[in-house]
Amino acid sequence: MDKAAIVGVAQIKYERRKKDQIFADMVFDVTREALDDAGLTIHDVDNVVTVSNDFFDGRTISGMAVGDACGGQDKNISTVSGDGTFGAFYGLMRVLSGYKATIVVAHYKGSEGDINITTNGMFDPVFHRHLGIDAVSSAALQANAYMTRYGIREEDIAQVSVKNHGNAKNNPFAQLPMDITVNDVMKSRKIAEPLKLLDCCPISDGAAAVIIAGEDIAAKCRKKPVWVRGVAHCCEEYFLGDRDLSNPVALREAATRAYAMAGIRNPIEDIDVAEVLEPFSYMEPLWLEGLGFCEPGAGCSLITKGITVMGGKLPVNPSGGALSANPVLVAGLARLIEAALQVRGEAGARQVKNADTALAQGFNGPCGQSHCVWIISGTK
Amino acid sequence: MTEWLKSVEPLTLKGQIAVPYTWWVGETGGRFMAALRDHRKILGTKCSSCKTVYVPARKSCGRCFIDMEEWVDIADEGVIQAYTIVHYGHPVQPAKPPFAYALIRLDGADVGFLHVIKKDLDRIKNGLRVKAKFRAERTGTILDIDSFELM
Ligand SMILES: [Zn+2]
């Protein structure tokens, strides 16, 4: 693969309700900031990808509605819905196919819509939608399948919430920095068993942007380029009942391909820090299993043994992850940005020492139907 | 944020998108729904290559990427593979919380069947057997099965 790098990033603080900014305001801010971060102007960018979703935005052809705000006039705009990691993947492909620089912008306002009704809409309208299943209840089914299969206790997954809300205290963009205990998680309100309130992400508003460029532009940018070493995505079956929800096969496949591209042989040795998309606490250990950091069923032991905490061998979600802010369409892009900040050494109080190779993972579809895995590094 | 904005409630606009759709259930889905409605029967389809029996019936096997032509009668009872008891409500749900969603491995099928359980929530466990309770008035939707009940 030709070389391409992340050369500019921007996020705004994630909040329960951004009452002073509409979609376009948020997008305009992160576009300008990402350009400043890269040391580029809008004229250096020749391709735009928006991460918009008609159902979430409440308008059709939603990508076009933020085109003006991200410098899309006179350029080529594509929209890739999802969590932002897939949009960034497409942005990378545009660069690899000859564009000079792509800006990928994502925006989301959970405060303006209804997450349950909107995510009910991702299920089959004939066989499943009338059952009222949504992102939360389907995740709870997956949690139950996973935890039953391996005998994982609710206290085990609660540790993830404790760790990530704690990490969020070091992240100025996080919505819910909190000092909590396993007991607090256990005592929180039941949402969909085994998930309780503190096992679930908050509703969030926010936006983020990433600029990806080829070698020529990267050499001219203000900041140290963060090179894309490997990236892949993979999808599995649509109907929940057709899948083994306790075995994230699509993630395993995406990771295998991304590792092969990046020359990663032993992920836990070769990767310094990971940002994974865990809007529900059980997802972090399950995804870490799919990413090959441990054997199937052993995901929770990574946290118990201190491997994934700050200061551990492989800190996971120094940012606080999606449990601490989940602007859905932005949440995967935020993982990629956080991973890039780690590689640059610009992650402030949440910086992992000497991080050079970082992993970012995102997903789309119920219970992680499709996963996207990025390996990025300061080393070309 | 501009300081004065903190102390006021900004102007908002209520909206609702209610778009009518008429979903074509499909040749295979139509036969499945008609069997629920007219005969209280659950039908699946079997892949001639990997032998997987799918329920609800599907026209093609995504794993083998071939059409399926063999119809199979699936039992109206089976085993709970995974469940969640839901404690929050929204207007699309077919029952008032608490109720449960379950993936049920119906006898004769190789995949889980998603539906709801409304009673005996305190006794639900994976591995327990459940049976479909059909509605008296059936219209050809997945809710012609009212719910599954513990046996
Ligand atoms: Zn097959």
Per-residue pLDDT tens over the stretch B27-49: 999 999 999 999 999 999 999 99
Task: Map residue B107 onto helix, strand or coil.
Answer: coil
What percentage of chain A exceeds 90 in pLDDT?
Answer: 97
Separation between Cα atoms, residue A301 and residue A316, nearest integer Å: 13
The pLDDT-based confidence of A1 (bands split at 50, 70, 90) is low
Q: What is the pLDDT of residues A243-295, one digit of tens each?
A: 999 999 999 999 999 999 999 999 999 999 999 999 999 999 999 999 999 99
From the list A19, A137, A190, the residue facing B10 with the nearest CB is A19
Q: Where are the domains of chain A?
A: 4-114+203-219
Give the per-residue pLDDT at B139: 97
Give the per-residue pLDDT at A364: 97
Going from the Cα of B111 to the center of ligand 1, the distance in angstroms, rounded, reads: 12
Choose between A111 and B5: higher pLDDT: A111
Spell out which chain B residues touch chain A, with contact meaning CB-CB distance below 8 angstroms. Answer: 1-2, 5, 10, 15, 17, 21, 23, 25-26, 29, 33, 54-56, 62-63, 81-88, 90-94, 101-103, 111-116, 126, 141-143
Question: Mean pLDDT over residues A337-364, rounded?
Answer: 98
CA angle A163, A86, A307 (to 5 degrees): 25
Q: Which of A121, A175, A35 is nearest to B19 (CA)?
A: A121
The pLDDT-based confidence of B138 (bands split at 50, 70, 90) is very high
- Whether B86 sits inside 8 A of A192 (CB atoms) is yes
Going from the Cα of A116 to the center of ligand 1, the distance in angstroms, rounded, reads: 33
In the predicted model, is pLDDT for residue A233 greater than 90?
yes
**What's the whole-number average pLDDT of chain A?**
97
Chain A closest-CA separation from residue B55 CA (Å): 9
Strand partners, A107: A207
Give the per-residue pLDDT at B1: 59
Question: Mean pLDDT over residues A212-217, rounded?
Answer: 96
What percentage of chain B exceeds 90 in pLDDT?
Answer: 89
What homologous superfamily is domain A4-114+203-219 in, according to CATH?
A: Thiolase/Chalcone synthase (3.40.47.10)
- Whether A190 sits inside 8 A of B116 (CB atoms) is no
**One-letter amino acid of B133:** K
Give the per-residue pLDDT at B137: 97
Chain B closest-CA separation from residue A262 CA (Å): 29
From the list B5, B33, B93, the residue facing A132 with the nearest CB is B93
Give the per-residue pLDDT at B110: 98
Which residues from B are below 8 Å from A127, CB to CB? 29, 56, 114, 142
Q: Is ipTM over 0.85?
A: yes
pTM, full prediction:
0.97
From the list B26, B111, B141, the residue facing A241 with the nearest CB is B111
The pLDDT-based confidence of B7 (bands split at 50, 70, 90) is confident
Q: Where are the domains of chain B?
A: 17-150
Separation between Cα atoms, residue A228 and residue A226, nearest integer Å: 7
Give the per-residue pLDDT at B10: 83
Name the residue with tokens 């809007």: A279
Residues listed for chain A: 380
Q: What is the pLDDT of residues B63-114, one digit of tens each?
A: 999 999 999 999 999 999 999 999 999 999 999 999 999 999 999 999 999 9
DSSP A351: P
In the predicted model, is pLDDT for residue A117 greater than 90?
yes
Distance of CA A110 to the CA centre of its chain: 16
Instruction: Please check whether residue A378 is in contact with residue A354, taking contact to mean a CB–CB distance below 8 angstroms.
Output: no
- Whether A131 sits inside 8 A of B142 (CB atoms) is yes
The tokens describing A131, both together, are 């059952």
From the list A130, A145, A189, the residue facing B82 with the nearest CB is A145
Give the chain B residue whose CA is nearest to the CA of A56.
B17
Give the chain A residue whose CA is nearest to the CA of B5.
A20
Which pairing describes strands A4-11 and B145-150: parallel, antiparallel, or unpaired?
unpaired
In the predicted model, is pLDDT for residue B141 greater than 90?
yes
Give the per-residue pLDDT at B3: 78
Question: Mean pLDDT over residues A320-338, rounded?
Answer: 98
Question: Mean pLDDT over residues A318-346, rounded?
Answer: 98
Q: Which residues of A159-195 are buried (b: 16+ CB within 10 A; e: fewer)?
A: bbbbbbbbbbbbbebbbbbbebebebbeebebbbbbb
Which residues from B are below 8 Å from A22, CB to CB? none
From the list B15, B17, B112, the residue facing A240 with the nearest CB is B112
**One-letter amino acid of A55:** F
Going from the Cα of B46 to the center of ligand 1, the distance in angstroms, rounded, reads: 8
